[in-house]
Amino acid sequence: MQRPLMPTADQLASLYRISYQLTFAMLQPIHLICVDMRTQNVYVLAGYDEELEF
């Protein structure tokens, strides 16, 4: 079993900025945050009824 990857400092800074915009400015709930182990991209699934994806 592979060890889960930790986000880089740049990814964490971007995640914080996006999370702040989604929850404070746009008032959208965040449903899921994950790191793709193959590409090391961070994905955020947010929005009511999961309509909004980043």
Number of independent structural domains in the chain: 1
Q: Is residue 52 assigned to a domain?
A: yes
Residue 6 lies in a domain: no
pLDDT value of residue 3:
65
Quote the tokens at residue 22: 């989604």
pLDDT band at 24 (very low <50, low <70, confident <90, very high): very high
Assign residue 48 a region: left if phi > 0, alpha if psi is -120 to 50, beta otherwise? beta
Quote the domain boundaries for residue 34: 29-54
Is 0.85 topped by the overall pTM?
no
Q: Which residues pair with 45 in a beta bridge?
A: 32, 53
Report the C-alpha gap between 22 and 17 in whole angstroms. Answer: 9
